[in-house]
């Protein structure tokens, strides 16, 4: 009978948890997708890239929403059981409060492992692949963000201007400036131009114009009746170097091992991992990212323990509603603290180790206080 009761309350918690997690994540995802759409259109990307990019951001959203959904769903189900007097059934069948708490803590460890897999493997890889998709894509909708009589410099190394733009994308009185360096640039002007696809690349065909090349203050120029300006050689401002959040966990660990001359047991010393962010200036940011991936998920069992505080005091007590509000407030403040505690992380390994132990200490203290309170009651 005990197993049936444990299974019932766990199923209720899980159903509400998954519903709240998916619904909340979808709402956030839709808002982000709308913002990404504006960026992608301005950036000249294909809609297929936009769809893949937004979908690959879904694991990151889930990892952010999961602690809130978990705490809210478990607190709600436990409160519902208390108000409907269903917890009395547990006590009548010989299940004590410590057994119930231990059962939920064991389950919370499984959720914590799932969150660890998300933050250390799935999210970095999905973020990295989404950037790879953008990097490897051509600017198919280049013409969509060219506005008449406006200089556009969204393309890195290129400024483009057109006095007129027809409905079919034809341009008139075009100005192009290609910057290679401070001492080397190219200016092209043309009377007309049109966009064409050639060998899966987007080109701008210019008619009746002139190209001026400037190299170390030496000027050369030539006139043309037709000239192909290849656009695939350029990239937009959205594409920048890989971010620390998108770099694999293994690459960050190799960086720490290299800079601090450590030997991390499970790392293969023969494997070379390229990490462009592995610089002395970025070490603090890398430590913070590793803290976010490995340590923040440890707060999940603590949130479950906090939600279980609801079963300590029976609902008949006057202070029950007051305690319920305090428990909800405590849980949400802890979620905020788990995210903001990243700011405490520094370059010092010993100091970071002390900060990383903090969630474990909080969990032990809370569990000990619950055991003491239950012992006093008995």
Whether residues 259 and 182 fall in one domain:
no
- Are residues 217 and 332 located together in one domain of the fold? no
Residues 297, 155: Cα–Cα separation, whole Å: 39
Instruction: Quote the CA–CA distance of 344 and 337 in Å, as a whole number.
Output: 11
Residues 92 and 221 in one domain: no
Q: Do 252 and 300 share a domain, yes or no?
A: yes
Query: Which residues span the domain enclosing 345?
Result: 2-137+241-377
Report whether 273 contacts 254 (CB < 8 A): yes
| Count of beta carbons in the 10 Å neighbourhood of residue 224 | 14
167 shares a domain with 133: no
Strands across the sheet with 218-230, in order?
A: 158-165, 171-181, 184-198, 201-215, 218-230
Please write the tens of the pLDDT for every residue from 348-358.
999 999 999 99
Tens-digit pLDDT profile for residues 170-180: 899 999 988 87
Contact in structure between 251 and 282 (CB atoms under 8 Å): no
Q: What phi, psi does 306 have (nearest 5°)?
A: -65, -45
Q: Which of 169, 198, 233 delimits the end of a domain?
A: 233
Task: Give the count of domains, the chain.
Answer: 2
Co-location of 151 and 82 in the same domain: no
Least confident of 97-101, 138-142, 205-209, 272-276: 138-142
Verify that 128 and 269 share a domain, yes or no. yes
Domain end point (choices 233, 266, 299)? 233
pLDDT, tens digit, for every residue of 86-129? 888 898 888 888 899 999 999 999 999 999 999 999 999 999 88
What is the CA angle 274-278-279, rounded to 5?
Answer: 145
**Residue pLDDT, tens place only, 12-25:** 999 999 999 999 99
- Pair 48, 71 in one domain: yes
**pLDDT confidence of 196, banded at 50, 70, 90?**
confident
Tell me which of 233, 252, 269 is where a domain ends: 233
Strand partners, 229: 204
The whole-model pTM stands at 0.77
Q: How confident is the model at residue 9 (pLDDT cuts 50, 70, 90)?
A: very high
Is the pLDDT at 306 greater than 90? The verdict is: yes
Query: Which residues fall within 8 angstroms of residue 345, CB to CB, at 6 or more apart?
Result: 284, 287, 288, 291, 352, 355
DSSP letter at 137?
S
pLDDT of residue 180: 73
Q: Predicted confidence band at 137 (pLDDT cuts at 50, 70, 90)?
A: low
């Amino acid at each position: 009978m005990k197993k049936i009761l444990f299974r019932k309350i766990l199923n209720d918690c899980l159903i509400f948890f998954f519903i709240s997690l998916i619904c909340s994540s979808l709402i956030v995802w839709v808002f982000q997708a709308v913002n990404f759409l504006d960026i992608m259109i301005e950036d000249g990307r294909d809609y297929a890239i936009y769809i893949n990019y937004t979908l690959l951001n879904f694991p990151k959203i889930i990892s952010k929403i999961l602690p809130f959904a978990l705490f809210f769903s478990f607190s709600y189900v436990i409160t519902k059981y208390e108000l409907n007097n269903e917890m009395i059934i547990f006590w009548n069948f010989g299940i004590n409060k410590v057994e119930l708490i231990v059962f939920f803590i064991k389950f919370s460890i499984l959720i914590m492992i799932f969150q660890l897999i998300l933050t250390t493997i799935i999210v970095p890889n999905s973020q990295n692949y989404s950037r790879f998709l953008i990097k490897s894509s051509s600017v198919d909708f280049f013409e969509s963000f060219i506005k008449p009589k406006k200089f556009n410099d969204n393309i890195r190394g290129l400024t483009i201007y057109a006095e007129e733009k027809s409905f079919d994308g034809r341009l008139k009185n075009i100005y192009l400036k290609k910057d290679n360096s401070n001492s080397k640039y190219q200016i092209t002007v043309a009377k007309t131009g049109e966009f064409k696809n050639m060998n899966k690349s987007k080109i701008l065909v210019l008619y009746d114009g002139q190209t001026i090349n400037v190299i170390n203050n030496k000027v050369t120029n030539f006139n043309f009746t037709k000239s192909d300006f290849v656009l695939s050689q350029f990239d937009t401002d959205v594409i920048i170097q890989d971010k620390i959040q998108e770099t694999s966990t293994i690459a960050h660990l190799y960086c720490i091992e290299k800079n601090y001359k450590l030997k991390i047991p499970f790392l293969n010393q023969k494997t070379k991992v390229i990490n462009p962010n592995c610089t002395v200036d970025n070490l603090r940011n890398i430590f913070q990212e590793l803290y976010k991936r490995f340590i923040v998920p440890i707060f999940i069992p603590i949130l479950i323990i906090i939600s279980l505080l609801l079963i300590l005091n029976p609902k008949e007590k006057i202070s029950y509603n007051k305690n319920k509000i305090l428990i909800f407030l405590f849980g949400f403040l802890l979620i905020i603290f788990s995210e903001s505690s990243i700011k405490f992380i520094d370059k010092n390994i010993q100091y970071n180790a002390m900060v990383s132990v903090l969630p474990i200490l909080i969990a032990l203290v809370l569990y000990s206080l619950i055991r003491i309170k239950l012992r006093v009651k008995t």
